[in-house]
DNA sequence: CCGTATCCAAGCCGATACTG
DNA sequence: CAGTATCGGCTTGGATACGG
């Protein structure tokens, strides 16, 4: 078997992915755009500085402590945020977007801002569907 | 009570939304970027013509009939696709993106294409996390 | 302060069988 | 062909109590 030299470092497209890689890409996007993740990331993005757990918990209204913990852990595992523990009393934990996380948010926020402008349309579509 | 005339049709921003509207916007995005929804929408977007249920089922590998049915119903309820039933034997059902759905996909696909290029980084981040 | 552990209820998903 | 109906296992999330 002969190894063929790659002429240029090809840009990855959808079809270049293995099934595992494809699944990872889809799941990271799915998690990022999940209601709690999106909200938490948005908070971190607009603050643009390290945030304590309790600050995030305050701003992401309606999320429970348990679910926020899980959400942030997953975002950390996906490489979108960092989690820094300070050995103090009382303990302090700070979260911040990584470069990758900021890059993703930069691309996701236009979609968010656009969907916000479409809310009236979404409401009308929902009503029309439910009326049948 | 006096009706105040709106000077200009304001562009909606995040803060103009009621809690219900905010929740609808977040949930529609969350659903759209869900792994199955994203895949199904992508298939419809690239075909750019009405697709039968079974065609979509073939292309969205790994999804069960039940879950695909649910997924498509939700997308229809969100106003992103249309569902047309033909009174034939055997029955035929066709799905197609709405204008709103196409507009959303047009904005979502760049994010998808970008995340695909970041898969190596995602894999490294995951490995680093799991190694601790 | 920032979690983890535990219990419990609700909902999701696959498999299977059946219908217009 | 494109569903609906049903059942059972599994995951998920809230509430609460406790720990470093």
| Tens digits of residue pLDDT in A6-46 | 555 556 667 778 878 889 999 999 999 999 999 999 999 99
Report field, pTM of the whole predicted structure over 0.85: yes
| Inter-chain CB proximity A77 and B126 less than 8 Å | yes
From B53, B74, B75, select the one nearest B64 (Cα to Cα).
B53
A25 touches chain B (CB under 8 A): yes
More confident residue, A38 or B21: A38
> Among residues 47-106 of chain B, which lie with CB inside 8 Å of chain A?
76-79, 100, 103-104
Cβ contacts of residue A31 below 8 Å, gap of 6+?
A37, A74, A75, A78
Q: Do strands A92-97 and B51-52 pair parallel, antiparallel, or not at all (unpaired)?
A: unpaired
Residue of A nearest to B110 (CA): A107
Contacts of B97 in chain A (CB under 8 A): none
Please tell me the predicted confidence (pLDDT) of residue A18. 84
B18 touches chain A (CB under 8 A): no
Å from the B73 CA to the D6 C1': 20
From B103, B51, B42, B18, select the one nearest A22 (Cα to Cα).
B42
Residues 65-124 of B with CB under 7 A from strand C: 65-67, 70, 90-91
Instruction: Decide: residue A124, CB within 10 A, 0-12 exposed, 13-18 middle, 19+ buried.
Output: exposed
Give the mean pLDDT of B102-125. Answer: 95
More confident residue, B39 or A132: B39
Q: Is the distance from CB of B107 to CB of B99 less than 8 angstroms?
A: no
Cβ contacts of residue A130 below 8 Å, gap of 6+?
B77
Which tens digits make up the pLDDT trace of A47-101? 999 999 999 999 999 999 999 999 999 999 999 999 999 988 889 999 999 999 9
User: Given a cut of 80, is residue B65 above it in pLDDT?
Assistant: yes
């Amino acid at each position: 078997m002969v190894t063929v030299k790659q002429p240029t470092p090809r840009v990855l497209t959808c079809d270049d992915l293995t099934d595992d890689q494809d699944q990872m890409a889809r799941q990271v996007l799915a998690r990022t755009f999940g209601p709690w993740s999106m909200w938490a990331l948005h908070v971190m993005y607009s603050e643009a500085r390290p945030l304590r757990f309790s600050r995030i918990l305050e701003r992401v209204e309606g999320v429970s402590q348990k679910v926020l913990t899980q959400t942030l852990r997953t975002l950390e595992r996906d490489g979108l945020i960092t989690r820094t523990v300070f050995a103090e009393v009382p303990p302090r934990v700070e979260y911040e977007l990584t470069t990758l996380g900021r890059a993703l948010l930069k691309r996701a926020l236009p979609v968010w801002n656009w969907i916000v402008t479409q809310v009236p349309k979404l409401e009308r579509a929902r009503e029309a569907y439910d009326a049948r």
